[in-house]
Structure 1
Amino acid sequence: MIQPVRWALALTMSLLMASLSSTVVAGTEYAYQFTQKSYPQSRNRNYTVYVPAGLTGVSPMVMALHGCRLTERDVLNDWGMKEAADRYGFILVTPFITSYNGLRNENCWGFWFNEHRHEGGGEVEDLVQIAKEVESNFSVDANRRFITGLSSGGAMAVVAAVAHNEYWAAAASAAGLPYGESASSVSLSGQCPGSATFHSISRVADDMQREVNDDYPIPMMVLQNERDCTVIPQAGRNIRDSWLAVFGDPDHNTLTTARADSSACAYTYQQSYSCVHERFTQDGTMNSRSVVETVFYTGPLATANPNDTDHGHYWIGGEDGNEGKWAVRQGPVYPDLIWDFFNRHARDASGAIDKPVVTLLGDNPMTLQINQPFYDPGASAVDPVEGSLPVNTTCDVNVDVDGTYYCTYVATNSEGVTGSAIRQVIVVDPNKPLETCVVESTSPVAHINSGRATAGGNYNLRALSSGDQMDIGFAWDSWSSVTLTEGEPGLWYTQQPEACQTQGGEPVPDPEPDPDPGFTCTQHYNTNLNHNSAGRAYYMMGYFTTGGNESLGGLSGVFTWVSEVSAGYYVAGQCPN
């Protein structure tokens, strides 16, 4: 893992800010590994920190938690959060659950496990310790530490806000669950509409009151699709009502006494889906801080990505987002809605950070074919106090060479406060193969953990390659070896893509060496299952020899001969005489 050095970061930032005429690149990602601590149920966890280019001084921090079957890369690539960090000036932290115990879908945060939802242990403690590690490496505003997430990540954001309300300033839960809920609060039927059972509001409130250890009434935002069939709308309403019961003023802890405003959502992209933003405050007026705010809308069930469920269950990234797994672009824009809420709710009740907001015109990213002329569509800037501002632009795009380039747009108000935005310009050579043809041979579980495969099949028991969706073995199989080849970046195949089968007119060598006549052949007679366990075979809708890829049939208990004809290369049958 990359371990950033503080002086190197400071030098980089000073160079970036030294002159607007210099080439400014996009923000920087830093990858860390959190080391398991001594408290119960702690684990080693990977996490990434994204720092916008030119960010200086003490800055807000936003931690964003992925949902089930996702990783921190999905958050970084598809949610529009990096662009929001660039736009609003906050440090983005994206933990990856990395490993876990207990029966759960792939990569779910364990919000329903008792050991993971109390201060001093488990995942909720690891998250706050990760945040404190970030503070040791970067300059974080102690009054502006925020946490959000989707699905199980949204539920864990709720847990974090309750268990550590002494640390976090505010939280936002997208399709999350109330504190202390069981797994039955999630609809697992695979049908629409969904169905689930919930604890009573009084029980949730009692569980919360037993856990909170600070009198700070931590504000919560709830974002919920009324048509969500996985986390049904009642979950969002129960978060809202339990928050009012625990953190609301005794005279303003019901919907009617605490409701201060109900209006159409301010931030939407292409579709609003009848989005309504409601604010429930400490005294029922807009003059006081929110106890809880809700964003409810009626969005579609279907998504563009074939790798998720069409159950109305997703993060909405807006123009800067992608049609990823459980992520869409159209609708109420979560990054903007959440940041607006966070920005108004610093822990010390200080005012929102007023800075110019730079809005890009035209596409971002912008894709050009090699040698195609580049015309910069530009950007506009508005300061909350001063109105429209001029924008200084720095672009360094070479249309003669394929690659990724950046244009940076900066606006500065009369107080010297700057806002910026970055456009990515991708120059593509249509004659250059898109396939990387990288080969990786490892176990199914390692392929899953690295994003080359996903858990699927009945009860997610099987590992499926990300490109051709082929079955490569049990999802928990850590002993077999399966070879996958990358086609387009991020898509891995059990069979080499056609473009990878030749390289400069010559055949690409097999990932395993050809049988070596000088090698002493060894033969093994055992069941297919035992061949699989020993690494001599792998399972992919049947058993095949490792390296030779020769079929042994589909029955696990049948005895077959397998011979190792060169190191790690197995074929069906006995050794030749």
Structure 2
Amino acid sequence: MRMFLYTPSTPRASAPLVVVLHGCELDAQNYAYHAGWNTLADAHGFYVVLPQQSASNNQNRCFNWFAAGDTQRGSGEAGSIAQMVTYMRDHYGVDSKQIYASGMSAGGAMVAALLAAYPDVFAGGAISAGVPYGCASSVFEAFTCMDGVDQSASQWAAEVRAADSSYSGPYPKVALFHGKSDTLVAYANLAELVEQWTAVHGADQTPDETTAIGAHQRLRFKDAKGQVVVEAYQLSGMDHGLAIDPAEGGVAGYGVFHPVHVWAPARAIALWGIQ
């Protein structure tokens, strides 16, 4: 796995860091450009780390989100990505309290693994067209998972807590995005992800706010302190991929980037509190 770095035009002191994970068969740098992460980094002064999956790890260049050896703390791909974060802390002085991860499809599923395995490292995450952490432990189970696996909120939360059973601190805030017309990863996974991360935060699964954004819906879930800890975007008519809004940011014309008037990366950093 290679690490690419996007440095903003004017990095802020103690800058935030966003780790951006591409989907299968995609190039990390092209993904970041089309998603609009470079634009956001320049506007807000944060660094973007871009792990690039290799064909030697996965022939389709998917992150191995379904393999226990690649999703556990301190091992495999998750461990390699954590080392990239450590490198950025040591050499670029990034703010250790403002480290985030975002990904789409296989990259989104790996983000769920990172948030579960390293809740002490990541303050927030964004998962687009992903699946819950712990729903697969083999390639065979991965396909079943992509079709949607129904578990209770408490069962899903237990998967996350088991990833680092000694951890007792706060968990990352999570932004979730999924197209209702996704033909690759079932839309039902959005509800399972909501169950997982609301339960991890001790919140219930009834949205505290529901807002229409054109034909889409944004659901907000708050914890006992009244803080929004999970946002879920139900994207009407969108197939598999990442939501962008070329009028604000993101570049259309590449199959998995859908101009649906919701710019997912910008929505994510707003939830995380990057100003």
The partner residue of 1:293 within 200, 225, 231 is 231
Aligned runs of 1:302-381 on 2, under 5 Å? 312-319=239-246, 320-322=249-251, 323-343=253-273, 353=275
Alignment partners' CA distance in 1, 2:129 and 2:112: 11
Match of 2:110 in 1: 156
Which amino acid is the alignment partner of residue 76 of structure 1? A
Q: Which amino acid aligns with 1:211?
A: A
Counterpart AA for 1:106: N
What do the CA deviations read for 1:449-491 (whole angstroms, capped 9, x no partner)? xxxxxxxxxxxxxxxxxxxxxxxxxxxxxxxxxxxxxxxxxxx
Matching of residues 539-550 of structure 1 within 5 Å = none
Residue number among 58, 62, 65 corresponding to 2:21 in the alignment: 65
8 Å Cα contact 1:205/1:245 also seen in 2:
yes
Contact 1:165 1:218 in 2 (8 A): yes
CA–CA distance in structure 2, aligned partners of residues 329 and 89 of structure 1: 25
Contact 2:113 2:133 in 1 (8 A): yes
Residue 69 (structure 1) shift: 0.9
Asked if the contact 1:317/1:330 (under 8 Å) is kept, the reply is yes
**Alignment-derived partner of residue 88 in structure 1:** 44
Instruction: Tell me if the contact between 2:148 and 2:189 (Cα under 8 Å) persists in the aligned partners.
Output: no
Q: CA deviation at 1:299?
A: 2.6
* Pairs within 5 Å for 1:183-332: 183=139, 196-198=147-149, 200-201=151-152, 202-212=154-164, 213-248=167-202, 253-256=203-206, 259-265=207-213, 272=214, 274-283=215-224, 288-300=226-238, 312-319=239-246, 320-322=249-251, 323-332=253-262
What secondary structure does 1:140 align onto? coil
Q: Which residue is equivalent to 1:129?
A: 83
2:99 to 136, 142, 145: 145
Q: How far apart are 1:74 and its partner, in Å?
A: 2.3
By how many angstroms is 1:132 displaced? 1.1
Cα separation, 2, equivalents of 1:200 and 1:133: 37
1:159-174 to 2 correspondence within 5 Å?
Answer: 159-174=113-128
The alpha carbon displacement at 1:241 in A equals 0.2
**In structure 1, how many angstroms separate the alpha carbons of the residues matched to 2:131 and 2:255?**
20
Q: Contact between 1:276 and 1:295, CA under 8 Å: does it hold in 2? A: yes
Instruction: Choose which of 36, 45, 60 in structure 2 pairs with 1:106.
Output: 60
- Using the alignment, how far apart are the partners of 2:92 and 2:70 within structure 1? 27
Structure 1 runs, 4 residues or longer, greater than 4 Å off:
183-188
Where do residues 379-418 of structure 1 align in structure 2 (5 Å cutoff)?
none
Aligned to 1:303: none
The 1-side partners of 2:30 and 2:47 are apart by 17
**Aligned partners of 2:141 and 2:216: how far apart in 1?**
24
The question of whether the paired residues in 2 share the 8 Å contact of 1:318 and 1:333 is answered with yes
Contact kept in structure 2, 1:314 and 1:327, CA below 8 Å: yes
Counterpart residue identity of residue 293, structure 1: E
* TM-score when normalising by structure 1: 0.44
Deviations 1:406-440 (A, max 9, x none): xxxxxxxxxxxxxxxxxxxxxxxxxxxxxxxxxxx
**Structure of higher CA gyration radius:** 1
**Residues 521-574 of structure 1, C-alpha deviations (whole Å, 9 max, x = no match):** xxxxxxxxxxxxxxxxxxxxxxxxxxxxxxxxxxxxxxxxxxxxxxxxxxxxxx
Task: Compute the displacement of 1:117 (Å).
Answer: 1.3
2:133 aligned partner, one-letter code:
Y
Cα pair 1:222 1:294 within 8 Å, conserved: yes
Distance 1:91 1:241, change over 3 A: same
Residue 56 of structure 1 and its aligned partner are, at CA, apart by: 3.3
Identify the structure with the greater helix proportion: 2
Alpha-carbon offset, residue 118 of structure 1: 1.0
1:4-83 matches, within 5 Å, as 45-83=1-39
Do the aligned residues in 2 keep the contact of 1:66 with 1:74 (CA within 8 Å)?
Answer: no
Separation in 2, partners of 1:264, 1:239: 20
Unpaired segments ≥5 residues, structure 1? 1-44, 189-194, 266-271, 301-311, 344-351, 354-577
- Computed over aligned residues only, the root mean square deviation of the Cα atoms, in angstroms, reads 2.2
Flag the structure with more relative contact order, 1 or 2, with Cα contacts below 8 A and sequence separation at least 6: 2
Structure 1, residues 244-297: CA drift from partner, whole Å, max 9, x if none? 22221xxxx3223xx3211134xxxxxx4x1211111112xxx62223111111
In the superposition, the TM-score normalised over structure 2's length comes to 0.89
**Distance across 2 between alignment mates of 1:92 and 1:247:** 27
Aligned pair count reads: 267
The residue correspondences of 1:547-562 to structure 2 (distance < 5 A) are none
| Distance across 1 between alignment mates of 2:183 and 2:141 | 12
| Counterpart secondary structure, 2:9 | coil
SS at match of 1:239: helix
Flag the 1:186–1:113 CA change in 2: closer, same or farther, 3 A.
closer
Inter-CA distance 328–222: structure 2 relative to 1 (3 Å threshold): same
| 1:376 alignment counterpart | none
Call closer, same or farther: CA 1:131–1:174 in 2, change over 3 Å. Answer: same
DSSP 3-state at the match of 2:16: strand
